[in-house]
Amino acid sequence: MSLLKKAVVSISALALAAPMVANGTAGIAAAALAGAENVKTESVAKDNSSLKAPLRDANSIFNLKLDKQKDGYVLVTNIAASGNNVIQKGEQLVVDFDTENVDLDNSSVINQKGSLPYTVKKNADKGTVTFTFNETVHDANYSSAIGVATKNVYDTTPVKANFEGATVNVANNKLTSKWQPQSTTSSYASTTSQQ
């Protein structure tokens, strides 16, 4: 076959195949555009209240640390909501203490000053401290501390926390109560008699 015939056959083949290739490419592009219209997208700037706890990182939102102080323990809670780590209205962070060695009736909760999007409630019978969020928190930082009173027993227990089913880590997670002998004081009453 001569070079001229090869060129004519190649051009004819391209001329016949071009509409099929163009149609196929146009079909792929049209399908992609049609598919893009049906895809749901979510911008980070929008309210992402449709997100559920498994999609968030509870340990990025809550930073809990048990600090040993001179006269006992303090559980420091730092709350930092941002990006996809949004806290929704009605959600709860539950901190669970062992009732065998923690006395929540005599423990105190200290919150930072100012308006807070949450309330804190102690339940001494269950050994829980619950942070309930009254509004959705998108981008904010808050701090709270719990002065933990211990009972007069010798015991070491962990502190547990969870946020909507997701476990939250507690740093330095060993709370030890120590038995102290009860001092007995007796008072002698002196009586005088008049004669």
**CATH at residue 77:** 2.60.40.1280
Q: Tell me, yes or no, whether 190 lies in a domain.
A: no
Round to whole Å and give the CA distance between 98 and 103.
9
Residues 6+ apart with CB under 8 A from 93: 62, 77, 79, 130, 131, 161, 162, 163, 168
Residues 6+ apart with CB under 8 A from 89: 133, 134, 135, 136
Domain that holds residue 25: 8-37
Round to whole Å and give the CA distance between 9 and 1.
10
Q: Looking at the chain, which runs of residues are DSSP E strands?
A: 62-69, 72-81, 92-96, 108-111, 118-123, 128-133, 140-148, 155-157, 160-163, 166-168, 170-171, 175-177
User: Residue 71: which pLDDT band, with cuts at 50, 70 and 90?
Assistant: confident
Q: Are residues 62 and 20 in the same domain?
A: no
Cβ 146 vs Cβ 75: under 8 Å: yes
Round to whole Å and give the CA distance between 70 and 2.
100
Highest mean pLDDT among 28-32, 33-37, 138-142: 138-142
Q: Tell me, yes or no, whether 73 lies in a domain.
A: yes
Q: Is the pLDDT of residue 132 over 50?
A: yes
Q: Are residues 160 and 70 in the same domain?
A: yes
Containing H/E element for 3? helix 3-38
The predicted structure's pLDDT at residue 185 = 57
Q: Are residues 30 and 61 in the same domain?
A: no
CA distances from 10 to 4, 21, 92, 102 (A): 10, 15, 72, 88
Round to whole Å and give the CA distance between 159 and 169.
9
Percent of the chain with pLDDT over 70: 67
Please state the rounded mean pLDDT for residues 165-187: 81
Q: Are residues 121 and 31 in the same domain?
A: no
Cβ 70 vs Cβ 30: under 8 Å: no
Q: Are residues 15 and 72 in the same domain?
A: no
Record the tokens describing residue 21, joined without a space. 């290739």
Q: Are residues 71 and 145 in the same domain?
A: yes
pTM above 0.75, yes or no: no
Q: Are residues 17 and 96 in the same domain?
A: no
